[in-house]
Amino acid sequence: MEPPVEQPLPPSPDAASRSRVIRAACAVIGTVALVLAVIGLVIPVLPTTPFLLLAAACYARASERMYTWLIGQRALGPIITEWRASRSLPPGVKTRALIVVAVTFAVSIVLVDALVLRAMLVVTGVVLAVFLGRIPTRA
């Protein structure tokens, strides 16, 4: 007598719905990030690239169609493809980003009265500056 062969379990109905829920959540988060990235194109204090990369990552998980559409955008697609190809920043971008971080955080620290908020802003600004400083620059 042969041992019984285990049959794979069929996917549970809630696994498919979780997948749809996760894809929908990624689509929503990606759209919010994309809106913030587009606003960042006109408002110099709001960074464009991190929100754009977040949107691309979310769209890649949500829908191939949405991701392909985003990559195909003339103004936004090259930023994503350059980051994916080199994982580095163009010359001068890191310097400008660090200046914007320093100025905006310094102004925020001066305008805030609460010592706890000032401390949080200092820590956040330092962490952000260290993160930006660690990203390589293309030659």
Q: 15 pLDDT exceeds 50? A: no
Distance CA 137, CA 128 (A): 16
Cβ atoms of 104 and 66 closer than 8 Å: no
Helix (H) or strand (E) holding 79: helix 77-86
Read off the amino acid at residue 112: V
pLDDT band, very low/low/confident/very high, at 3 (cuts 50, 70, 90):
low
- What pLDDT is attached to residue 4? 52
Distance CA 29, CA 10 (A): 30
Comparing CA positions, the residue from 26, 33, 36 lying closest to residue 60 is 26
pTM: 0.66
Bridge partners of 89? Answer: 137
Q: What does R_g of the chain's alpha carbons equal in angstroms?
A: 21
Comparing CA positions, the residue from 130, 122, 128, 131 lying closest to residue 101 is 128
Q: Structure tokens of 123?
A: 């820590």
pLDDT digits (tens, 9 = 90+) for 74-119: 988 988 898 888 988 887 878 888 888 899 899 999 999 999 999 9
- What pLDDT is attached to residue 104? 87
Higher pLDDT, 2 or 90: 90
pLDDT digits (tens, 9 = 90+) for 18-71: 688 999 999 999 999 999 999 988 887 777 888 899 999 999 999 999 999 999
Q: 13 pLDDT exceeds 80? A: no
> Which long-range contacts (C-beta less than 8 Å, at least 24 apart) are formed by 70-77?
70/34, 75/41, 76/37, 76/52
Comparing CA positions, the residue from 10, 13, 61, 6 lying closest to residue 33 is 61
Q: Is 104 exposed, middle or buried (0-12, 13-18, 19+ CB in 10 A)?
A: middle
